[in-house]
Chain A
Amino acid sequence: MSDASGGIAVGSLLLALLGGAMRVSTPFLFVSLGECITEKSGRINLGLEGTLVFGAMSGYGVAYLTGSPWLGILAAGGSGLLLGVMHGLLCSLPRVNDIAVGIAMMLFGTGLAFFLGKPLIQPVAPTLPSLVLGGWSSNTQIQEALRINVLLPIGIVLAFALRWAFVHTRWGLALRLVGDNAAAARALGYPVIPVRIAATAVGGFLAGIGGAFLSLYYPGSWNEGLSSGQGLMAVALVIFARWDPVRCALAALLFGAAGALGPALQSQGMTSGYYLFNAAPYVLTLILMSMSWSSGRSLAGAPGELSLVNR
């Protein structure tokens, strides 16, 4: 440790945080974008944690069986879509609470994934290729920090596209209307329930892809401890981002960076209090939640039909 007396190397720490943001944020990003679409329609899908885990398992399985990680991504999205449709249909029954269904779907998704994923723990599936954006630098740490997966830029572009589409397209308007005022939407002839089911299905599709990122790119293998609550944190993140896809993307990057804090500090020899640093993403969730819920106008931007709002 050349800089043991001066504490930690700040530059290297910042690079580590950047690397963490690039590596870890993609599942947060996809799940939160999916949840954003679902919540815009007036429903909450807490089951996305289960969708994420199931997507990770099915993506890994299909990639292993077919030899193509891209087919794995597709399969993960497809299975997420099915789980989304299931949630959407169940919630459309009279007097069914979407939060309760979400919790049930979460347990169902993870349980089924563990059951079907038993034989997939051992095999090694092909992983997704990465883009090397840091080739210009001779510093290996910069090169590594900028080694990203193509899903990350896709997700960021998607975030901007969604923000635009919510405002400027007919679909976006229908989605927001259904989510803000079901009665008005009905009066205008929009099919409320089909729109919500479709929104939940698309949300599930994206969450499934987020799961496949975990098993097919980083950390890049299937096992039962793969998701440590990323799906649930992403749901909280949507509320923090006030239902804005671009802010979802920023928050996802922030969470990724926070997750890298603990290991980055420890690798530089600063290991006291590592439990605290490892808890950084969760602490961040709590702080952001309490900040965004405390003020009177905190719910600005919340879809009017959301069961969180209509208490």
Chain B
Amino acid sequence: MTDSKHSPDRRKVIQLIGGAGAAAMVQMLPFGAGLARAAEKFTVGVIYVGSRDDFGYNQSHAQAAAYIKKLPGIEVVEEERVPETIDVEKTMEAMINEDGAQMIFATSFGYFNPYVLKMAKKYPNVRFAHCGGLWSKGMPTNIGSFFGYIDECEYLSGIAAAATSKSKKLGFVAAKPIPQVLRNINAFLLGARSVDPKATVSVIFTGDWSLPVKEAEAANSLIDQGVDVLTCHVDSPKVVIETAERRGIYSCGFHVNQAVLAPKGYLTGAEWEWKTPYVILVDNAESGKPMINFLRGGLREGFVKTSAFGPAVSPATRKISMAVKAKMLQDEFVIFKGPLRDNTGKTVIASGVALSQQNPVLESMNYLVDGVIGQI
């Protein structure tokens, strides 16, 4: 890890030189003493699984970190490319013991269980904000899990995609079949079907969050099958969006705005606006209020946003999309409502049932809805 600013190994060495006694003392300091030291500044640690400028997920978090860094009295320490292994535990301990971090943003899904849970028990006075995890009763109360309902933007992308597509075959390059990814695929399909009931979404799972060659292969295979709009849920959409543009088809972005990569074919995109939850959680910590254990929000709460429409989206399509978005902003729109069948024919949401965005059932989604071509 030649590139990381805070190498855990280096810290370990410093710790050893400083003597185990000193290290133990830091840990034994009561929270009050820790606060006194930080009376003038509040230190926040942010941990990323990839590079901060990946045109994707990590960049979306880095933008939020850069925003809170500018707030008065806040100091931010960051570390990139921390694997979802025991490494993240070392990084968290180093940030707490060496940098005096009072709050940690652990931004990757796989950090949660068991690493964040373990560290939260060991350091009850540090706040742990995890992105994407599902906090439940019985877990340490100094953990907060936050996430955004980006499926709302995916639904809007689906509308733009199906309305612009000529073949009505849409493609989705996905990393792993976890609930958040499945929810996005399903919302994309439901949005597409809302304007064209014959539209389909073909899915390819690459198996991991960042596999550029496989993502390019997946994109090319889908395009060969006649797909003419591509979107994706991988850590860095750069390869998929660039491949779509090179082959002259349309694309919808994800994580951050990728319009500059596809000036012709970029339709719209689903973007995170992490600075909203970051600011809420940091403010909350600074004023000493209890940790918010479960924080969610969508378009209405400003946790997510859509990319500006590209030149290929017709005025009529923009109108449809904007009308739905207005309803979402009023909290009057339900994406997942019955009767809804999965693509094996099983009913997954019964007729008459409407699952609002906040419903935790949606966060354990384990099916692909009818119209999605692919298996989990």
Contacts and interface: CB of A to CB of B under 8 A. Distances in A.
28 contacts: A16-B221, A20-B217, A111-B2, A114-B81, A115-B3, A121-B51, A121-B54, A124-B260, A124-B261, A141-B224, A214-B212, A218-B213, A219-B213, A219-B216, A220-B242, A220-B243, A223-B212, A226-B212, A228-B214, A263-B204, A266-B221, A267-B204, A267-B221, A267-B224, A270-B375, A271-B374, A275-B207, A278-B207
Contacts, number: 131
A259 B213 contact: yes
Interface string A7-27: 000001001100110011000
Given A218-B216, A223-B236, A264 B207 contact: no
Contacts of A34: none
Interface string B363-376: 00000000001111
B224 A144 contact: yes
A267 B222 contact: yes
Interface of B: 1-3, 50-51, 53-55, 81, 171, 202-207, 210-218, 220-225, 227, 236, 238-239, 242-243, 246-247, 260-261, 373-376
Given A122-B55, A260-B217, 13 more contacts: A112-B2, A115-B3, A118-B51, A122-B53, A219-B243, A220-B243, A221-B238, A224-B50, A225-B211, A263-B220, A267-B171, A274-B207, A278-B214
A1 B207 contact: no
Nearest to A275: B207
Interface in A81-122: 111-112, 114-115, 118, 121-122
Given A266-B204, A267-B222, A271-B374, A121 B210 contact: no
B55 A121 contact: yes
A68 interface: no
A227 to B, nearest CB: 8
Contact of B218 (A111, A118, A263, A270): A263
Q: Is the interface of B mostly helix, strand, loop or mixed?
A: mixed
Contacts of B217: 20, 23-24, 259-260, 262-263
A19 B220 contact: yes
B222 A144 contact: no
A271 B55 CA distance: 28
B322 to A, nearest CB: 30
A198 B224 CA distance: 44
B55 A262 contact: no
